[in-house]
Amino acid sequence: MLNKPSPFINDLNWYTPLRDLKVVVPNDATDLPDGTCRAMIFNGTGNVTFVTAGDTTVTIAITAAWFGVQYIMAKKILATGTTMPASTIYVGY
C-alpha cells in the first residue's frame, strides 16, 4: 500500500475533520486556551457572546435551529452577555 498524504491534513481546508473538542467556560479576561477555534458547537439555548478571529464582538441568540457544529472562528467566549450554560458550549480545533 502506498503512503499518500491525506488531503484532510491541512487546517485551512474546511473539509478537514475537527481534531479536538473542548468544553468552554466563558471568560471575559482570557482567550481560549488552545487559541482561535475553527468551530463552535452549541447544545443548549440562550445567548453566546464571543470575539471572532477578526476581533469583532458578536452576540448570537442560540435556539434549537443552531444546535450542532457552526463554523465560526472565535478566540474568546465572553462571560458578559452569555446566558447559555457553559456545559453546552464546545469549541473545535
User: Which has the higher per-residue pLDDT, 17 or 42?
Assistant: 42
Examine the pLDDT at 51 and tell me if it is beyond 80.
yes
Residues 6+ apart with CB under 8 A from 1: none
Q: Which residue has the higher pLDDT, 17 or 13?
A: 17
pLDDT score for 37: 95
Measured between alpha carbons, how far is 67 from 84 in angstroms, rounded to an integer? 12
Rounded mean pLDDT of 39-44?
94
Within 13 A of 66's CA, how many CA atoms are on the CB side? 21
Does residue 23 register a pLDDT over 60? yes
CB 88 within 8 A of CB 43: yes
pLDDT band with cut points at 50, 70 and 90 for residue 77: very high
Comparing 9-13, 43-47, 72-76, which segment has the lowest mean pLDDT? Answer: 9-13
| 3-state SS assignment for residue 14 | coil
Whether residue 9 has pLDDT greater than 70: no
